[in-house]
Amino acid sequence: MTLVIRDLCVARGGLPVLMGLNFQVAPGRALVLRGPNGSGKTTLLRTLAGLQPPLSGEIGGAEDRIAYAAHSDGLKAMLSVAENLRFWASVFGQRDIGPALRSYALEDLHDRLAGTLSAGQKRRLGLARMLVTARPVWVLDEPTVSLDADAVLLFARAVRTHLEAGGSAIIATHIDLGLEAEVLDVTPFRATAETRAGASDEAFL
């Protein structure tokens, strides 16, 4: 099923930030979002993940199909690596965490408490979480923050495997992952001060 975005307008704090977005992400395809800080990439991704409603427009094919990862990984310092993963696996109705551990080279850290991991290791664990969700559309917000070069390669490989298996991904990132992906620069879609689009403060203008 293709993710279809039509005429989407997203808002942060009641103000429109991006508008007129139209794109599709077919199975097996990846979309890389680019744009300067504060341009609304995170807002767009949160809207796609269903955490906030769009101001206007449609998001088709997202219902219960999206796995979302943002700046914070939802890890518990007092649980071990395996326990953290197993928890998310069972929330998403999965059991096997082996492949996820292997693809991010976390087997050796299996029993370490997440609180004792380095920032990069935590990030790897957070990304491994995507693999235990069994959801076809990955929505990733700056996934490579605090990853070293090797780990970025691990990540790129995981995404590639996911795409080959018929999944898709929308990734906001600034580095080149070496993926065959379409690139969407959100800068032209930034809302101007006159944009209303049903913004929450529209009635007051």
Partner 1 sequence: MTALLYRDLMLALRAGGGFGLGLAFFLIVTVLVPFGVGPQSELLARIAPGILWLGALLACLLSLDRLLALDWEDGTLDLLATSPLPLEAALSIKALAHWITTGLPLVVAAPLFGVLLNLPGPGYLWLVVSLALGTPALSVIGTFGAALTVGIKRGGLLMSLLVLPLYVPTLIFGAEVARRGAAGLETTTPLLMLAGITAGVIAVMPFASAAALRINLR
Partner 2 sequence: MSVTDDKPAIKRPSGFWSYANPVKFLGFSERILPALWVLSAACLALGLVWGFFFTPDDFRQGSTVKIIYLHVPSALMAINAWFMMLVASLIWIVRRHHVSALAARAAAPVGVVMTLIALVTGAIWGQPMWGTWWAWDPRLTSFLILFLFYLGYIALWEAIEDPDTAADLTAVLCLVGTVFAVLSRYAVNFWNQGLHQGASLSLDKEENVADVFYFPLLVCIAGFVLLFFALVLYRTGTEIRLRRTRALLARQGRQ
Tell me if 55 sits within 8 A of 21, measured CB to CB: no
Write the interaction track for partner 1 spanning residues 110-149; mark x where CB under 8 A is met and - where it is not. -------------------x---x----------------
Write the interaction track for partner 2 spanning residues 174-203; mark x where CB under 8 A is met and - where it is not. ------------------xxx-x---xx-x
Residues 167, 27: Cα–Cα separation, whole Å: 5
- The crossing angle, in degrees rounded to 10, of helices 81-91 and 119-131 is 30
Does residue 198 bind partner 1 (CB under 8 A)?
no
Biggest CA pair distance of the chain: 58
The window from 24-32, 51-59, 96-104, 151-159 that contacts partner 1 (CB under 8 A) reads: 51-59
Write the interaction track for partner 2 spanning residues 8-37; mark x where CB under 8 A is met and - where it is not. -----xxx----------------------
Q: CA-based angle 132:136:139, to the nearest 5? A: 85
Residues 102, 166: Cα–Cα separation, whole Å: 20
List residues binding partner 1 (CB under 8 A): 49-53, 64, 66-76, 78-79, 83, 86-88, 90-93, 129, 133
